[in-house]
């Protein structure tokens, strides 16, 4: 899988944290909520499946380095 832009990942996650309506859409209908973002099919599927590990790996952020200390 090609590396997802960290900027795109950060944009999606920041928007989900700040925008209640977007967060609700992301949870209820992730495919529609992500339509405006340039994601590969695999990246999109990781969001739809709620696969945080795959999302972090796609953004070249190993899950073990993002865990709380």
Residue 9 token pair: 């990942």
Domain regions of the chain by residue span: 6-66
pLDDT digits (tens, 9 = 90+) for 9-45: 889 988 988 999 998 898 888 889 999 998 888 888 8
Please, are residues 63 and 53 in contact by the beta-carbon 8 Å criterion?
yes
Instruction: Give the phi and the psi of residue 47 in degrees, each rounded to 5.
Output: -65, -45
Q: Is the pLDDT of residue 67 over 70?
A: no
pTM: 0.68
Q: Measuring CA to CA, how many Å separate 17 from each of 11, 21, 40, 44?
A: 10, 10, 22, 18
């Amino acid at each position: 899988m090609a590396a997802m832009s960290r900027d795109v990942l950060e944009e999606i996650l920041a928007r989900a944290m700040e925008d209640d309506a977007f967060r609700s859409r992301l949870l209820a209908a992730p495919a529609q909520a992500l339509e405006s973002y340039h994601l590969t099919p695999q990246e999109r599927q990781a969001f739809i499946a709620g696969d945080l590990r795959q999302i972090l790996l796609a953004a070249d952020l190993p899950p073990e380095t993002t865990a709380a200390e």
